[in-house]
Amino acid sequence: MRILFVTQFFYPENFRINDLARYLAAAGHEVTVLTGLPNYPGGSFFDGYTRKGPYKEKMDGVNIRRVFVIPRKKGGLWLSLNYLSFVLFGCLEASAMEPSDYDVIYAFGTSPITQALPALVLKKMGGVPVILNVQDLWPDNVEAITGVKNPVTTGLLDMLVDFIYNRCDLVLGTSRSFVKAIKSRCGLKEKRKVVFWPQYATVERSSEERRDILPEGYFHIVFTGNVGQGQGLDTLIRAAALLKEEYEGRLVFDIVGDGRARADLMSETKKAGLEDMIRFHGSFPEEEIPGILNTADAALLILKDDEIFKRTIPAKLQTYLKCGAPVVGCVCGESRQLIEKYGVGVCAKGMGAKQLAAAVREVMSLERPQLEEMGERGARLSDEMFDRDTLIERLLRYMEILAG
């Protein structure tokens, strides 16, 4: 098949869409990606990229067509300009493309949902079916991250979301709660086109040990991935303060990743005198994450205490499970149900610092064989529920039906 991906974020930015594009290209499909110039999460263009491009590339058999975007830099204004510039230049590029060159379009629906609009331009021009993979629920996600509750603003966003959903041929929800929430929208005309299609781990389990990052002599609880406002890592700082007297010199929380909240969190950690307990390691190539998780004693899954995040299964959970890492969860809703039902970790009994601290004490009280068994149960769950080959085969069936 001839598949067009529409996504604001793509290689060398570290997003899971990279793996899917490579996988389908390796399977013999003709894959093209319409995306922007890479600048996430640092806010400036990656080395080798400028406002002059390159705008056309090839990576592992994937054809990449880039459009200009205003770098996200720092602050809400620049972020808004970054989002709007992709919509503007993405739609202009789409209008110059030939719809008959593609059998199906796959829009990757991380925030902002507006990045699906170039896909709808091509559909309008030539009737190419569009699949939207919803990673973030709008406008709920906007309200949770920004705190904006203005009914006029949220009303306009609701209209935009309904406009996009109604014009897509298939909508994929990454959790069953997402599917339920999308189907419950009053403005959605066709409920049957919303289906559950979870995320999968894009890495393989490793036996490597990374003692250069996680030195011996400590109980290491690792957090990997985006260090953003929605992760609720401020709760971790308060929990670490509660644990300091008891566990300082024995316990370390290792933050492996980058994002817009990292600088503020590092500052708060320093103010609290917790630099020995919370260590920020920055980003690592995706292929190094399994070795880090294999070396860790447990992995931290935490989200901001907001209703929207109760419906979310963060993609990092699939990574933790695949790598056999016991999970310390400070989450509610579907993620917590998975952890507790399948015995793959320990969950806090609430979303506050005291509850997280109690969960950490509980996991540290476990014997090594107990932790290892949790990790093995997680690896088995990954193979049974979130297997990459099985899920992509299902996605291809959807594509073939739509392209039919």
> Whose structure tokens read 């995706």?
286
Name the residue ranges covered by the structural domains of the chain: 2-200+387-403, 219-385
| Per-residue pLDDT at 62 | 98
| Per-residue pLDDT at 235 | 95
Which ranges of the chain have pLDDT less than 70?
A: 141, 143-148
Give the DSSP per-residue string, 29-61.
-EEEEEEE---TTTSSPPTT-BTTB--EEEETT
| Per-residue pLDDT at 377 | 97
CATH class of the domain comprising 2-200+387-403:
alpha beta
Q: What angle do CA 150, 151, 152 make, to 5 degrees?
A: 90
Q: Is 150 helix (H, G, I), strand (E, B) or coil?
A: coil
| Per-residue pLDDT at 338 | 93
Q: Which of 129, 65, 190, 32 is nearest to 404 (CA)?
A: 129
| Per-residue pLDDT at 148 | 65
| Per-residue pLDDT at 145 | 63
| Per-residue pLDDT at 213 | 94
Per-residue pLDDT tens digits for 173-205: 999 999 999 999 989 999 999 999 999 999 999
Per-residue pLDDT tens digits for 230-243: 788 999 999 999 99
* 219-385 CATH choice from 3.40.50.620, 3.40.50.2000, 3.40.50.10490, 3.40.50.300: 3.40.50.2000
Beta strand 56-59 pairing with 62-67: antiparallel
Give all strands of the β-sheet with 278-282 in edge-to-edge order.
278-282, 251-256, 219-224, 298-302, 327-330, 345-347
Can 2-200+387-403 and 219-385 be said to share one CATH topology? yes
